[in-house]
Structure 1
């Protein structure tokens, strides 16, 4: 009886039911769209942070450089010996650590032993400045050779001083970055965010091998390929692999085994960055405090610290989606619920004769209330189905368009003044580093479940108001409505 009556009444009031369903649909569609875009923003931010940290890294440990002593120079020192030849070729490499003060390798073991730490590896960030070119020796000529000498007390017009003609120097300066990696655990550290596209990566036995993995962009610039050889400070290295960053542009040009990097920089048993993976993402904050408390002077940078330095259109859009977008969704959804409730209540008031007659025939108030709530629930489910369809269509449209967002990586104020180290740790990426991320709007099952819940809630809210009003009607109301 209930189902038959419900179907008949909904068929009689198609326009009113459609208006209520469309109102709920628009609100639900907006919620799905905003939730999906927000999820896409989160994924985009994760890509940026993974490009800084590397996959699986939860935090990095560094130490700020001490202030330089008065009168000391922090730059590279180049000295060349002039020779008697007319043209002398000179070449020199200066290797310097960057990204913070060097830490003892034993600190890596201390960090690994901290409660809540799953694993930790060290890396050494270097900057190599290569200067090569040649001096050309000039020739001395006297400007007074062609001048006549004066008499006693006289003087030559040119003074007879020799002048150097020709000669000079022509040097090229090439800067590139080098990362020393722990080849025994490459799931953390600089190479974790890189994908080998040619050749191979290091094996666990190549802890002190004269082998190198280079970034694709650096290989293209220098015309290197697998098998090519190059020298750093007189040591020859063979390219065994070319790597491409997984999610952004790499800031490291050359990757070497950690021991080789330490030898080049005269930094035996030293690292500049420690990459840390926590046992549980919920314990990252606690692990950070424990490391800072037990190892004095260190700076622990987490993904949330780096997230606060990301600016640009990605940050602006994310703020709008999470702030304005969510509040707008709540406002529209609340308005849709209110309109549905008011329309249902208004429809009940126009059905005074119907409900009064049903009560006069013996229907209890609960049956009348159930009838109104049932109709509202059906309207809510129809609105939910329409809203899910509209929301998914809007999300798919965003994904198909894939608007480009920019992310500028600012400074955390940590060592080196940057946010990224070799392949991702603090101290490598400058404030001007800009990434482009394609925005997507993934629709998760959780979002669909939320939409269904909102549809049911909207139907219940509208039905509750209409049912409460219908339950208060008396059979006498129907008689008074008869003209």
Structure 2
């Protein structure tokens, strides 16, 4: 009897049921779209951060910032005076980025802290290369000058001084810089190289701890026309390229990757690292691990991904703040308003069915049975609204993913020595080599992934909306008396 009456009433009041269901559907669809976009923002930020410190890294440890004026100084370049004018001279300098290093033993000390699942050291280098040639000038004698030239002072038979000038000559040199990263080939699961994929050749072998081999970033390889099997010379050492890597998003952490021990030799920084990449055993205990490292390993700066996320600016940060602020409030206010409107519409519908419910009570229906009937109808409307809302929400999320709007993320310096997560990027021509770049800009395509939990939340909202609307109407219906129906009889 319950389902028969329910089906008949819903069929009779299709328009009213559709209005209630549509209101709930819009609220539920908004929740799905906002939640999926927020998830996409979070995923985009993760990509930005992983482009710097790689997969599996929860925090980095660098040396505490040095006092102003205590840096390593400017690099010096020396050239020999060669007789051949056409001879090209070239020299390079390998410098530790930031000039701040930690002892390699620090890696083991950090790895032994409670809550640390793994720790790997890395050495970030900046290679400054200068090449060019000197050109000898020529002396041009004046045409009006005599063969004997000019006598000395006072015409007293001084040595002859030819008249004329030097023309031409000078020097033409180009300065180029690129970044190199010394990676621990025995532990390749943590660090900046994990943010790239090997697209040609291979990665390092665990036995190549001091080998003269290198992995080159694909963008740099294309610019310099490098490839697997070719060689690149760094400070007089020839490295054979064994692989080409491509960054998953944005720029790679370095242009060139070499074994850590070999990088230490190049920079004259034996048993030194610039950054220690740390993986926590429990992602929920990152703050506790950070505190333990800061307490037990003095003279270091610990930077977590959350700390680095605070430096993200640009349209990604603005959109993320908007989704986290206004978007979440809308996802709360709009469904609440939809539930309220659905409740009021259901209550209004009950008031138009006074004669019907009064007559049913006169025929022996209890108030509880009438209430259940109204709640049942409202619950069906809510489920119908849930289905419509999930469909609209999925369509909206798919549209965002299909359009994939591009957001810009700008990462500022972390303030710590060595550049924070990933050791920082260095730019030639902006304050000289060895100076950390002020920011790094990446373009990230926004997606809107929809998780199963969001769908379950949408179903729960649909049920809640139906129950709230049914509660309004059921309360109104339970207060009706048979006499109300008689007063409506014309």
Classify 1:144/1:74 alpha carbon distance in 2 versus 1 (closer, same or farther; 3 Å).
Answer: farther
What RMSD, in angstroms, separates the aligned Cα atoms of the two structures?
A: 2.4
Q: Distance in 2 between matches of 1:27 and 1:448?
A: 13
Residue 465 (structure 2) pairs with residue 463 (structure 1): no
Deviations 1:364-419 (Å, cap 9, x if unpaired)?
11101111111100110111111111111111111111111111111222224565
Asked if the contact 1:25–1:384 (Cα under 8 Å) also holds between the matched residues in 2, the reply is yes
> How far apart in 2 are the matches of 1:353 and 1:184?
83
SS at match of 2:423: coil
User: Secondary structure of 2:73's match?
Assistant: coil
Query: Within 5 A, what are the aligned runs for 1:246-325?
Result: 246-325=248-327
Q: CA distance change for structure 1 residues 150 and 276 in 2, over 3 Å: closer, same or farther?
A: closer
Contact 1:51–1:423 under 8 Å retained in 2: no
**1:80 aligns to what SS in structure 2?**
coil
Does the aligned pair in 1 maintain the 2:97–2:436 contact within 8 Å? Answer: no
The equivalent position to 2:454 in structure 1, one of 447, 457, 464, is: 447
Q: Give, in whole Å, the separation in 1 of the partners of 2:68 and 2:268.
A: 19
| 1:53-91 Cα shifts (integer Å, max 9, x gaps) | 101111100013423658x87111112232455555422
Q: Tell me which of 465, 471, 480 is aligned to 1:473.
A: 480
Aligned residue in 2 for 1:397: 399
Runs of 4+ in 1 over 6 A off after TM superposition: none
> Hey, what does 1:116 align to over in structure 2?
115
Gaps (5+ residues) in structure 2? 427-433
Indicate the SS of the match to 1:433: strand
Aligned equivalent of 1:203: 205
Per-residue displacement from partner, 1:290-319 (whole Å, max 9, x unpaired)?
Answer: 001111121111110111111111111111
**Does residue 102 of structure 2 align to residue 127 of structure 1?**
no
Q: 1:286 to 1:151 in 2, by over 3 A?
A: closer
For the Cα contact (< 8 Å) 1:421–1:429, is it kept in 2?
Answer: no
Partner in structure 2 of residue 59 of structure 1? 59
Name whichever of 109-118 and 61-70 sits farther off: 61-70
How many residue pairs match? The answer is: 479
- For the pair 1:23 / 2:23, whether they are aligned, the reply is yes
Tell me: CA distance 1:176–1:395, structure 2 relative to 1, closer, same or farther (3 Å). Answer: same
> Which residue does 1:3 correspond to in 2?
3
Change (3 A) 1:207 1:145: farther
Question: What is the alpha-carbon distance in structure 2 between the residues aligned to residue 171 and residue 251 of structure 1?
Answer: 28
TM-aligned CA distance change 1:179 to 1:428, over 3 Å:
farther
Contact 1:373–1:459 (Cα < 8 Å) also in 2: yes
Q: Provide closer, same or farther for how the CA distance between residues 208 and 149 of structure 1 changes in structure 2, counting only shifts above 3 A.
A: closer
Task: Give 2:178's aligned residue.
Answer: 176
Q: 1:415 to 1:195 in 2, by over 3 A?
A: same
Deviation of the 1:207 alpha carbon: 0.2
- TM-score by length of structure 2 reads 0.92
Return the TM-score normalized by structure 1.
Answer: 0.94
SS in 2 for 1:77: coil
Aligned to 2:75: 76
Deviations 1:81-132 (A, max 9, x none): 3245555542211111014511000000000000000000000001111112
Equivalent residues of 2:424, 2:437 under 8 A apart: no
CA displacement at 1:153 relative to structure 2: 4.5
Q: Retained in 1: the 8 A contact 2:130–2:173? A: yes
CA–CA separation in structure 2 for the residues paired with 1:197 and 1:12: 64
Could you tell me whether the CA contact under 8 Å between 2:48 and 2:249 is conserved in 1?
Answer: yes
**C-alpha distance in 2, partners of 1:366/1:154?**
134
Structure 1 distance, partners of 2:192, 2:37, is 30
Distance 2:388 2:256 in 1: 54
Q: Distance in 1 between matches of 2:10 and 2:2?
A: 12
The Cα offsets for residues 270-293 of structure 1, whole Å up to 9 and x where unpaired, read as 000000000010011110010011
Gaps of 5+ in 1: none
Deviating more after overlay: 412-421 vs 316-325: 412-421
Residue 250 (structure 1) shift: 1.0
Match in the other structure for 2:437: 430
Task: Give the whole-Å Cα distance in 1 for the aligned partners of 2:152 and 2:84.
Answer: 41
Given that 1:118 and 1:279 are in contact with CA atoms closer than 8 Å, whether structure 2 keeps it comes out as yes
| 1:49 counterpart residue number | 49
- For residues 318-397 of structure 1, what are the structure 2 equivalents within 5 Å? 318-397=320-399
Distance 2:72 2:297 in 1: 29
Mapped contact 1:251–1:428 kept (Cα < 8 A): no
